[in-house]
A and B are shown apart, each in its own frame.
Chain A
């Protein structure tokens, strides 16, 4: 949401400071000239309700202009904040994105005194800029179609330039800008600001133009940038929830898909819907030949299904299968690993390439790859983003789980998790709903303190109050993102990259990294003398142990103890009755025992279920993730503490001995 082009890039909420007036909005601070924002009187700002700011009257242009310049300073702040509050409300309200953008461009034209304006967004797959909302005078269907087609001698439009550079452009008088070729003959001044998504990717442009030279100043620029930030916020919120919904649907479908072919086709379809690409192919590693064989694809490679393959290590796809790490690049042809054996697109047509490993409980079992054509706009890259990579990895994990599900051992592990999908979708919409509801509560309060809500008397508001509300809203949005992250971790819990490692050593390092040393909880450790070698995924196990430590610490806020111990359990040793593991093997037992409240008898069967939590702020996914990780390792996790005397978690992991 930060608009790097137009401000210093610091990510904090700042309200009107004495000498450097700042603009309030989601999470960023934009310096703005003091003619627009008030100097605070003492510590308080006084706002008075004034109906005209709710529905700006369509006044004549020069009047609007004049009043804007003459605006008394107190009015100025109030008007800007009022607008802001109204706009942020639009940003989280139920209406669609196109409605929102219509609203924004209308607002931008009215507030800046522009003759007309438009918002253009980049089409993700092709990189084309497309006008999605217009406002002001002089628009016709034809103008809308052709507005972006017109290029200056440099080959690009102002809009394209802003989209490329991510920087605002302001032209005070086109007569001083010989390269500018106006589309509308009446144009004298121009302001174009980028819509920048989190992750710094330019998603589109807000473009304003006026028949008056010098119409746009830094004030107008700052205002338009706030609009752009809010549009970016909403667009990315929209993308996130659409993606989450599709992922959940995918999980559900995979859990019931009957045969492998239907299943793989399904995955390719879902991935296409979420990521918008030209083609997608799935390769699975054949156990006998150790080759990655093409099992599904959407485009021209279809006749090769079952025939085309990569040796492990061969080409980019084979490289991903060998190393188990994603590859995300622009055009693959310049990459030294590239072989071009089986291609959905010709080298010179491929603009973006992304391949991720498919992991099951046994490690890498295949590769999922997607590609996009070259961007049709030379100035607009359509690379896959980090976010795209995360989403594709999540889909790959779902495929991995489905593959496990088709095999005997893992069926037991996955069945329960698969069954959780239904609940997952209900719960996540419940939680997302609650978070959005709370953000709306803050907006309602903001409206109230600014005196714009229905039927309110003038109120006195402090800067701190406003800062607090804006901060709350920002946190609300972060919590939405947190929900997504946890959700992905749950999905990916059973995708492993096992390596040989020693479990006491691993435990020791997690404890050192995550246990708060200066906290009120006393730590004792007792690591096994003998080595505990295992074939395991260190990242996943660390995540699991850290989760248990975090629980122990949060449930003993006012002090307590944590005992960590590791030991070897041989085939002859007795395991607690709760443990379900094949007999006759050797295991490592890793124990975390705390001195907190422990777990009530009636909760013992529930704590590993997704969304079970007794904490207010808890998500209840923590132990479900841990259980998934441990079971994927062919181990088990149980809780054997006495209620009232502390929780006692035992983790059993199979040892890798005698080889």
Chain B
């Protein structure tokens, strides 16, 4: 089962995200702050497949820190950043550093929860194909070594 970490400091936001993701059948872990998120990633036995994090949790760069923590633990973990509507500067910064995508909360006229599910599925797809590529590469190298 796919494992997802949700990091957000607002109770209601966290709860509604977790509920929606669980409906999709994902195994969801929640963290209520940047620190909790970082330690959840460190302590997880198997790295998370996808991490969804709020951009601003007290610190406007919380999202960046979570991204660094996630990639530090496992380069294949995909990170999706949530930002306030119309405040994408930092999220774009995250994209440059390898986040999968960002989603603006309260994008008018869009069901953001459905949008997010779509992004999660795409992120999982990318993760699968990167892992496969690496496996193929390893296999290839092994075979080359043998030959």
Given that A429-B84, A441-B17 are known contacts, is A436 also in contact with B23, CB under 8 Å in the complex?
no
Which residues of B lie under 8 Å from residue A435 when comparing CB positions?
10, 12
Please tell me if B53 contacts chain A, counting CB pairs below 8 Å: no
Contact A438 B106 (CB under 8 A): no
How far, in whole Å, are A424 and B56 apart by their CA atoms in the complex?
Answer: 14
Please tell me if B16 contacts chain A, counting CB pairs below 8 Å: yes
Which residues of B lie under 8 Å from residue A444 when comparing CB positions?
16, 20, 111, 113-114
Given that A93-B108, A94-B109, A433-B106 are known contacts, is A617 also in contact with B11, CB under 8 Å in the complex?
yes
Please tell me if B92 contacts chain A, counting CB pairs below 8 Å: no
Given that A433-B84, A434-B105, A436-B106 are known contacts, is A441 also in contact with B113, CB under 8 Å in the complex?
yes
User: From residue B127, how far is it (CB to closest CB) to chain A in Å?
Assistant: 24
Q: Which residue from chain A places its CB closest to the CB of B18 in the assembled complex?
A: A441
User: From residue B107, how far is it (CB to closest CB) to chain A in Å?
Assistant: 7
Which residues of A lie under 8 Å from residue B111 when comparing CB positions?
440, 444
Contact A434 B13 (CB under 8 A): yes
Please tell me if B75 contacts chain A, counting CB pairs below 8 Å: no
Q: Which residue from chain A places its CB closest to the CB of B108 in the assembled complex?
A: A94
How far, in whole Å, are A429 and B86 apart by their CA atoms in the complex?
Answer: 10
Contact B56 A440 (CB under 8 A): no
User: From residue A350, how far is it (CB to closest CB) to chain B in Å?
Assistant: 41
Contact A445 B19 (CB under 8 A): yes
How far, in whole Å, are A612 and B9 apart by their CA atoms in the complex?
Answer: 13
Please tell me if B85 contacts chain A, counting CB pairs below 8 Å: yes
Which residues of A lie under 8 Å from residue B13 when comparing CB positions?
434, 437-438, 441
Closest 3 CB pairs of A and B: A94-B108, A441-B16, A438-B12
Please tell me if B137 contacts chain A, counting CB pairs below 8 Å: no
Given that A430-B84, A437-B112, A441-B113 are known contacts, is A94 also in contact with B9, CB under 8 Å in the complex?
no
Q: Which residue from chain A places its CB closest to the CB of B107 in the assembled complex?
A: A94
Give 8 pairs: A residue, B residue, CB < 8 Å, sorted on A: A94-B107, A94-B109, A430-B84, A438-B10, A440-B106, A444-B16, A445-B20, A613-B58
Q: Which residue from chain B places its CB closest to the CB of A92 in the assembled complex?
A: B106
Given that A430-B56, A433-B84 are known contacts, is A441 also in contact with B109, CB under 8 Å in the complex?
no
How far, in whole Å, are A556 and B74 apart by their CA atoms in the complex?
Answer: 38
Interface residue tally on A, bucketed by range: 20 to 34
Q: Which residue from chain A places its CB closest to the CB of B114 in the assembled complex?
A: A454
Contact B106 A94 (CB under 8 A): yes
Please tell me if B32 contacts chain A, counting CB pairs below 8 Å: yes
Which residues of A lie under 8 Å from residue B109 when comparing CB positions?
93-95
Please tell me if A442 contacts chain B, counting CB pairs below 8 Å: yes
Interface residue tally on B, bucketed by range: 20 to 34
A-binding residues in B (CB < 8 A): 9-13, 15-17, 19-20, 23, 32, 56, 58, 84-85, 87, 105-109, 111-114
Contact B112 A440 (CB under 8 A): yes
How far, in whole Å, are A444 and B13 apart by their CA atoms in the complex?
Answer: 13
Which residues of A lie under 8 Å from residue B9 when comparing CB positions?
616
How far, in whole Å, are A119 and B110 apart by their CA atoms in the complex?
Answer: 26
User: From residue A452, how far is it (CB to closest CB) to chain B in Å?
Assistant: 12
How far, in whole Å, are A612 and B32 apart by their CA atoms in the complex?
Answer: 15
User: Among A93, A437, A442, which residue has its beta carbon within 8 angstroms of that of B105?
Assistant: A437
Please tell me if A448 contacts chain B, counting CB pairs below 8 Å: yes
How far, in whole Å, are A653 and B84 apart by their CA atoms in the complex?
Answer: 41
User: Which of B12, B84, B107, B114 has its CB near the most chain A CB atoms (within 10 A)?
Assistant: B12
Which residues of A lie under 8 Å from residue B112 when comparing CB positions?
437, 440
User: From residue A529, how far is it (CB to closest CB) to chain B in Å?
Assistant: 44
Which residues of A lie under 8 Å from residue B15 when comparing CB positions?
438, 441
How far, in whole Å, are A93 and B110 apart by their CA atoms in the complex?
Answer: 8
How far, in whole Å, are A436 and B112 apart by their CA atoms in the complex?
Answer: 12
Q: Which residue from chain B places its CB closest to the CB of A427 in the assembled complex?
A: B56
Contact A441 B106 (CB under 8 A): no
With A94-B108, A445-B23, A613-B58 given, name 11 new contacts (CB 8 A). Answer: A94-B107, A430-B56, A434-B12, A434-B84, A435-B12, A438-B15, A441-B20, A441-B113, A444-B113, A616-B10, A616-B11
Which residues of B lie under 8 Å from residue A93 when comparing CB positions?
108-109
Which residues of A lie under 8 Å from residue B87 when comparing CB positions?
430
Contact B20 A95 (CB under 8 A): no
Contact A440 B108 (CB under 8 A): no
How far, in whole Å, are A448 and B22 apart by their CA atoms in the complex?
Answer: 13
User: From residue B32, how far is it (CB to closest CB) to chain A in Å?
Assistant: 6
How far, in whole Å, are A519 and B74 apart by their CA atoms in the complex?
Answer: 46
User: From residue B132, how far is it (CB to closest CB) to chain A in Å?
Assistant: 28
Which residues of A lie under 8 Å from residue B58 when comparing CB positions?
612-613
How far, in whole Å, are A58 and B123 apart by their CA atoms in the complex?
Answer: 41
